[in-house]
Every structure is written in C-alpha cells, then in structure tokens.
Amino acid sequence: MGQDEWAEKIRHQMRFEFERTGPPDDFPALPEIPTERYISGEFFALEEKIWQQSWLLVGREEDWSEPGRYRTADRGGSPLLICRDLDGELRGFFNTCQHRGAPVVREACGLAKRLRCQYHSWTYGLDGELLSVPDERDFRDLDRGSRGLRPVRLETYGGWVFVNEDLDAEPLLSWLGPIAEEWAPLHGESLRAMASRRERVPANWKIVADAFLETYHVKTIHTSTVSKLLDHRGAAMGLFRNGHSRMVTPKWDRVVERQRQVASGIRELPGLHALFAETNPAYSVFPNLITPLDTVGFPFIQFWPMGIAETEVEWTFYGLPTDVPEEQAAWEAYVGVFDQVMGEDFQNLGSMHRSVASGALASIPLNYQERRIYHLHEEIDRRLGRDLIPEAMQVRPVLEPFWESQS
C-alpha cells in the first residue's frame, strides 16, 4: 500500500470517528478485564513466556560500530549478549558460559576480540564457537563443537536491532505485518538516536502500557500539552495480527496552520505524506514498544517489567543526525516538552496499581476508544496459552473480526 492509499484510508476512518454518535453497530461491548492479571504472581510468572518468544528491540545497528563491539541486554528477563563478529555480522547469544552458567562478559558494553567466561576462563569466539578450555585434559570426552554459546534470533529493520529467544520464531518482517510497510517512508536507516531517558514507575507493566493505548485521558491530564495539539474525537484506530495496533489522531486545524507558518528549527524527515504533519500517527508493537510519530522525528517508548509492581520505561528519540548548534538546541527543547508529557502520563500509574492491589477494583470496563487495550490483553492470553491461565484471569477473545487485513 502506497502512502496516498494509506492516507486516504486513515482520513476515511477519521471522518467516521468524527461523525459517529456511538460505537459502530457491529462492535461488541468489551468484556471487563480482571484486575487480578495486574497483581497476580502466578500471572506474572506465566508472562515470562512473552519475553522469551517475542521480538524485542535492543538497539541500533550503529551501537555495534565495529567488529568486537558488544552489548548486553537483560531487561526481558534472560541474560543476552549482542556482538559484531570479525566478519561484521551482528550476532545474538545468551550471556551464559556453557560450563556452569557464568557470564562471558560482565560489562554492559565493550570491545573484545574474544569472549572469556568470568568464572573459569572458557573462551569463545565472537561467532559463539568455544575456542579453549583451561585444563581441558581433566574433562572426559568434552565436545567443544557442541559447547558453543547458545544463540538467539537476531534480525534488523530500518537500522533497529531486534532479538528473539525462540529460534523458530516468525521472521521479524512478517511479525511486524503492515507496520513494516507503513514505517518504510521513515527511512529508519538514515536516522540516529538524539536523546534517551529512563524512568522507574511503581506499577505493573500492563498498567503502564495501557496508558499509552488510548486518547480518552488526554483532556483530563494533558490539559496544557497534548489536548492543545490533538483532537481525540477523530482518533482512527487499527488492530493488527500479533497484538500490534495503530492510532492516528488528528491535530487541531489551528495547530496545523501554525506549523505551516512557524518552523520548529528541526529538519523534517524527507518524503513523508502530508498526513504526518496533520496528525499524530502512533503505533504499538507487541509486547512493549510504542511510538508516536512526528515529521521531525519520534520516540520509541519501551516498557520493561522489573517486578510485578515496577516497570522501567525507556524512551529514545530518533531523527536526522545534526551537528548544528541551533538544531541541537531545538532538539533539547522538543525532548523537554515530551518529558513533560511523560510526567503527566506517569502521575497516576503508581496510585492505580496500589488501588488495584488493594482489591478496591475487581475489573476494568473499557469503552470503544480503549479497544487497543483489550487487543493487547487478548494477545497476551494467546501468547501464554488460554489453557494455562486461571479462568478468572482470562479475557474473552472478541476483537479478531475487527483486525485489519495484512494486505
């Protein structure tokens, strides 16, 4: 689908949203979400499967700028190691020596010609092959060929690096579905990280993620920021296979006109359709990546569970690289405004988790505007296996008939 066809589809959806007087006639009442899903240790333990069998963003190709450059990644739960081998290929492994499980690197990042276990000095090549074992004579029938570092899947899209512990996982491009095509005009390979932030939020990761999947809250908590930019009544939402989704929210006409007259000081990404300037297209990639796109750049926001009641939120901005002081200053101002918006989003989440944990709220009723939240929870249950989830914590699948097609 080209940009013109995509834009016409979105505009049609936005017109429908503005004109409707209620939910579409064929849209179901969404079953309430049991709050036990957010606070149950049993459910949290089941969710480990999500992080082991999903494509997770771990960085940019340029983060591994030369052979031997490595970085660790463990916020998905498992200790992973990504390195660029001597032939320049990016590879992913478990950061786990195949002797007794010690890490082969301790530092979060570095440069190495070989990977040496921090316990007994078993040494591996950057391709994961076991090269040497101290006192090898004391092992009977040790097969070095079968003791290489355990690999994980690693694939890239637009310069971003994703890993998946499941060696039989669906290829990344197929997994992304329509999003891969809709992000193509961004030309991700030409972008670079402009700024990055991290924040710990005292709430379950799903409470945090839910907050970024609807605009129902905009008029209440973003009174001086987002609500002055976006008209939530026209938000057009699309649900995709694999739990991904899209939400395109129109800007107020006065905002669009002001943007035409006043330059931001940041270069715009070339070749984008006019709809990018007239709206805020936001995407969710299951399980933990959200991005609200803009014409000058955008953040990738990720939610990492640190425990049942704690989430680390990381957001990194991407844009056209610059060494011009005035543009760098404009970027600082741009990121500062977004930091304010994130603070507004965070302010209720810890209290919401405490309320849920107290038993004061047994289930969550969602409206039509909040259907992306239900879509996320349906996919969580599909990934875990409904037969493994206690019946009282399940959500009933009802949204598949409303998924957009892959074509």
| Mean local confidence (pLDDT), 229-240 | 96
Same domain, 269 and 210: yes
- My answer on whether 234 and 383 are in the same domain is yes
**C-alpha pair distances (Å), 333 with each of 195, 262, 265, 310, 313:** 11, 15, 10, 29, 21
Q: Answer yes or no: is 239 within a domain.
A: yes
Distance CA 187, CA 241 (A): 23
**Looking at residues 144-150, what average pLDDT do you find?**
95
Summarize the confidence of residues 18-25 as an average pLDDT. 96
Averaged pLDDT, 147-153:
97
Quote the CA–CA distance of 330 and 209 in Å, as a whole number.
Answer: 29
For 112, the domain range is 59-164
Amino acid (1-letter code) at residue 282: A
pLDDT in the model for residue 355: 97
Summarize the confidence of residues 32-52 as an average pLDDT: 97
pLDDT band at 263 (very low <50, low <70, confident <90, very high): confident
Task: Yes or no: say if 222 and 358 are a contact pair by the CB < 8 Å rule.
Answer: no
Domain membership flag for residue 227: yes
Q: What angle do CA 232, 28, 375 make, to 5 degrees?
A: 65
Answer yes or no: is 304 within a domain: yes
Instruction: Say if 78 falls within a structural domain.
Output: yes
The CATH number linked to 395 is: 3.90.380.10
Task: Output the pLDDT for position 1.
Answer: 78
| pLDDT for position 65 | 94
Angle ∠(84,88,92) on CA atoms, nearest 5: 35
Number of domains in the chain: 2
State residue 403's pLDDT score: 97
Q: Specify if 195 maps to a domain.
A: yes
Residues 253 and 146 placed together within one structural domain of the fold: no
Other Cβ atoms within 10 Å of 74 Cβ, number: 13
Same domain, 154 and 9: no
Closest to 265 (Cα-Cα) out of 222, 295, 293, 227: 295
pLDDT of residue 405: 83
Same domain as 94, residue 45: no
407 in a domain, yes or no? no
Tell me, what amino acid is at 165?
Answer: E
Residue 234 lies in a domain: yes
Asked whether residue 197 falls in the same domain as residue 145, the answer is no
Q: Of 133, 164, 195, which closes a domain?
A: 164
**Same domain as 72, residue 33:** no
What would the pLDDT profile of 299-344 be if each residue is shown by its tens digit? 999 999 999 999 999 999 999 999 999 999 999 999 999 999 999 9
Work out the number of other CB atoms within 10 angstroms of the CB of residue 12: 11
Amino acid 276: pLDDT: 96
Average pLDDT over residues 238-243: 98
Q: Are residues 11 and 44 in the same domain?
A: yes
Predicted confidence (pLDDT) per residue in 156-211, tens digit = 999 999 999 999 999 999 999 999 999 999 999 999 999 999 999 999 999 999 99
Q: Is residue 120 domain-shared with residue 236, that is, in the same domain?
A: no
Asked if residue 359 and residue 233 are part of one domain, the reply reads yes
Model confidence at 407: pLDDT above 70 = no
Please give the model's pTM, rounded to 2 decimal places: 0.95
| Whether residue 200 sits in one domain with residue 277 | yes
Domain end point (choices 141, 164, 187)? 164
The answer to whether residues 251 and 390 belong to one domain is: yes
Residue 264: band (very low, low, confident or very high) from pLDDT cuts 50, 70, 90: confident
Q: Tokens standing for 205?
A: 């990761």
pLDDT at 404 over 70: yes
Q: Which of 111, 141, 164 is the last residue of a domain?
A: 164
- Residue 214's Cβ-side half-sphere holds a number of Cα atoms within 13 Å equal to 20
Is 292 inside any structural domain? yes
